[in-house]
Chains A and B, each alone.
Chain A
């Protein structure tokens, strides 16, 4: 697997995030969550830990149709947006992953399940903030809330 490959979730992958119907183990599910249509394999490794395990997980996900190559960092046309097109929801998911890392599974699922409307995202952000305060880290929760509100405000 080329380290500059960029993967994107397929419809099956998006569905899996929402429903967990395939009961993927965390070692496979976390890389699936991390795949965002922007990050290269190398960047995913830096977010998601050990290279061998992560590339194995990505290979599994690709083989089973949860993700597909979107291009490489050098060849990807700049005009093509990743799925979600840098939508507020995608930005929120990326923010959460950047702040929490591997433990973001549950809160990212909450964001993914939220409707794309502003009210829906706002409610999901508040719910994630509460969940983070209770079970992850209070400081990170406050940082997430502030930055998420910024994202929602700039998105209009």
Chain B
């Protein structure tokens, strides 16, 4: 594995994603249920998927092109779902607090 700028950025992304995973897991106990608590469970699953996907990125050069394309497509797909879930959650919170 060559240590170029892309690999360094990938490693940084993995570190950030692990921090995000720790964050969602540690905050779970403070949000046992309700509107946010329900969505939080989904966010934990999505962040776990991302962490796994991000872990593959430094090894992209070693993977077959088709498999690499599939992983990127999956990351984009779940990324889109993550954004939708987060935007909807923010909107629900604003609605509740309005």
User: Taking beta carbons and an 8 Å cutoff, which residues of A are in contact with B?
Assistant: 103, 130, 132-138, 141
In the complex, the answer to whether B37 meets A135 with C-beta atoms within 8 Å is yes
Q: B53 an interface residue at 8 Å Cβ cutoff?
A: no
User: Taking beta carbons and an 8 Å cutoff, which residues of B are in contact with A?
Assistant: 30-37, 93, 96-97
In whole angstroms, how far apart are the Cα atoms of A133 and B98 in the complex? Answer: 13
In whole angstroms, how far apart are the Cα atoms of A135 and B27 in the complex? Answer: 11
Interface of A is mostly: helix
**CB of A84, distance to nearest CB on chain B (Å):** 28
In the complex, the answer to whether B33 meets A137 with C-beta atoms within 8 Å is yes
20 further A-B contacts with Cβ under 8 Å, apart from A135-B34, A135-B36, are A130-B96, A130-B97, A132-B34, A133-B35, A133-B96, A134-B35, A134-B36, A134-B93, A134-B96, A135-B30, A135-B31, A135-B32, A135-B33, A135-B37, A136-B32, A136-B34, A137-B33, A137-B34, A138-B34, A138-B35
